[in-house]
Every structure is written in structure tokens, then in C-alpha cells.
A = this chain, B = another copy of it.
Amino acid sequence: MGLIVQKFGGTSVANAERIHRAAARAVETKERGNQVVIVVSAMGDTTDDLLDLATAVCTYGEKVSNPPKRELDQLLATGEQVTIALMAMALHAQGHDAISFTGGQIGLITDGAFSKARIQSINHHRILNELDAGKIVIVAGFQGVTSDGHFTTLGRGGSNATLVALGAVLKADVCENYTDVDGIYTADPRIVPNARKIDQISYDEMLELSGLGASVLQTRAVEFAKKYNVKLEVRNSQNNNPGTLIVAETPNMEHIEVSGAALKKELVRVTIKAVPDQPGVAAKIFSTIAQANVVVDDIIQNVLDDNTANISFTVEHGDLADIKPIVEKLTKELGGKTQANYQSDLSKVSAVGVGMRTHTGVAERMFRALADAAVNIQNITTSEIKISCIISKEDGPKALRAVHDAFGLSDAK
């Protein structure tokens, strides 16, 4: 007998019929002899509707205020609470015993960072007791409570964090993440029509792909799964196709040079020129930017002959408005000839695979493929299992297809 945690996202529980379909899947899993825990998100557009209500109430006369974050979490936590109760009723209507729990009811304790809280502990005994009593247990994703009882939410991808955390504390055999796609693909199928579903991928590869914009699983959930060695599976809630397993690396995986390719669109490269080449300057620049909660990537520093350096990095285009005033203030403080420029309309194409560690010639093959496709490479950054090239945005789709083909990713492995 196994223990399986299944998570259904907002679209998979958007109405009564879909809730019943998700419930039926849990029942079927239980009838195969497993104990089953279900994690659910808020139904369909519920969270957006609640945010609209908050916006309406925060507009008073001419003034628009930001809602206190504690109260916003108090509000948003109701979304998942509705779904868990309905899921319990659906299972009951199908003739099965079930019980629903909010984050607070299973002692899912977080820190006090409202709207982006981190899980600290879960009282799994309560869940295990109900499982042992033969029930299907339903848990509200995305939410927890602080140790003194304030409701918190876990931020973007929070329900996946709940899924993996439950998998860890319950020592689940597998955590199944039900979405509207069949699994993780070798590249975005909307751009690369012959992209292939990956059967199995390592945590590290998945981490790189998540960071590169594969949106099915957030980096945080994968990090947590890796840390606690939780076997994760991404599956489609609308069919019974096998999904993608995300697991610890096996020696076998190293036979494959490249597991997937990704394209991150709409990047801006910020270059700060003639920065004084002194210890601590780079640290000052990036700590100032970090305070604005903007993620920077692809950092490159070139030291020039005149004791200055050029520092460049990329940010997502949507963050430009936040980061520009900070960079302008920094260049002014650094003084001298220091100045910044901003290059928009960039993309980043990447190849990811743990096999890179042991195979040579991967970078060369990637650069050759891009050259053959007449794609100009503007910057290169690498990690142990990833090669990324900054290119112009208009070259993005053909670059992704070229890299995908160069490593034969559409061939069955």
C-alpha cells in the first residue's frame, strides 16, 4: 500500500463537474490500495475575484491604498477553503469518506511574511490519523498560519509548495501534480511542434528549466522536492497519460547530453559602463537591486584597461520600470564616467542536461546550430548543466527550434 499526494490546480477544480472528476481520480487511486491526500487550489478565477473585491474596497474617494498584507492573506485564504469543503462533499456524494483541512487545521506553520510565507512545519499526525481511519484527506493549498494564528499565503506556486511539503512530511511514495498539460516537454510545444514529453528528469534539470520559464513547476517546489527527495510527477488532469517524473539523478541520465531546451522571452540587458574596479562595488550594485525584489540573471563583468569594468545583467522586461530609477541613482553615486544603458527586445535560448558534465562538445554543437540558423549570439552564460545564449527577440523561435533539433530532442529516448 502506498501513500500518494495529488494536487489539483484552479482550472482542475473550476466547477462542480471538474471537482467530481478530480474526486473520481482520487477514489480510483484509493481503490488501487493507496492512501490518498488531495491538495487543491482556489476554484478557477476565485483568487482574481477576491483581488477585485479588495481593489474596490481599497479605493476610497480619490485615494487608492494598498491593502494591509495580513488582511489580503485573510481574504485570499478563503478561496482554497471553499474548494476543500466542496471536494469533501463531492467525495461524500461519490460514497467515500473524506475530511478537509485548512492549512491552520493541520498545523501548517509558516513565518510571518504575508503573501509570500515560507513553510516551517506541518503536524502530519492529524493527517495520518485520518488516513488510518480510511478517509481521503483534503488539504487547502497555498496557505498556512503563523505560530500565533495569523493566516498566511505562500505566494506564486504556493499550492505546489504545499504538495511537496506534504509529500516530504508524510513520506509519500509520489506527489502527483495535475495540470492541463501531459508533463514537461523538451521545449515549449507552441514554438517547437515536434517537442517530446520527457518521461523522467532530474531535480537539477527541472530547476534550470523552471528558472528559464517552464511554468508548470515553480523553482521553489522543485528545490524543496530535491532537498527532501520527494518524487514528483506532472500529469494531465484531463486524461490518463503517464506524466513526467521528477526524481533524483541516476547514472543513466548522464547518457543524455541535453534533456530540454527553453526560451525566455522579453529580456532587457542592463549594462553599467566604466564602473570603478574596486572591491565591493559589484556587491553594492546587486544588493541595492535585490532590495527592489527584482530577479537579475546572466551577470557578466569585464575589467577594462583603465581600472574600470563593464557590468551587465538581464532582467525581465516587466521589471524595467522598477529597476531603471535604481540603476540611475547608482550610476550617479558611482560618479566619474559611469553610465548605464538598456537594450530591450532580447531573448535567451538555453539547453539543459546533466549529461553536459561528462560530455564534451555540447557548447560547440549549440553555437554551430545557432550559427547555421543565422542567429547572432550576444552573450553566453553557462552553469554546470546549462548553456544559455542571449539573442535578439525576433530570433527566439527559430533559435529554440535549432537547438532542439541539434540535440535530437524530438527522438524517443
Contact = CB atoms under 8 A, between A and B. Distances in A.
Interface of A: 15-16, 19-20, 50, 53-54, 56-60, 63, 65, 67-68, 70-72, 74-75, 77-78, 81-82, 84-86, 88-90, 92-94, 99-100, 102, 104-105, 149-151
Contacts of A16: 53, 56-57, 59
Nearest to A50: B82
A104 B58 contact: no
A contact face: mostly helix, strand, loop, or mixed: helix
Contacts of A54: 85-86, 89
Given A57-B20, A90-B60, A149-B104, A74 B70 contact: no
Contact of A89 (B58, B85, B92, B100): B58
A312 to B, nearest CB: 42
Contact of A93 (B63, B81, B151): B63
B57 A71 contact: no
A70 to B, nearest CB: 7
Given A54-B86, A60-B20, A104-B149, A92 B68 contact: yes
Contact of A88 (B71, B78, B86): B71
A166 to B, nearest CB: 18
A53 B82 contact: yes
B85 A75 contact: yes
A86 B20 contact: no
Contact of A60 (B57, B86, B94): B94
5 contacts: A60-B90, A71-B89, A71-B92, A75-B89, A78-B81
A75 B104 CA distance: 15
A9 B48 CA distance: 25
A114 B222 CA distance: 39
Given A56-B16, A57-B93, A63-B93, A68 B88 contact: yes
Contacts of A90: 57-58, 60
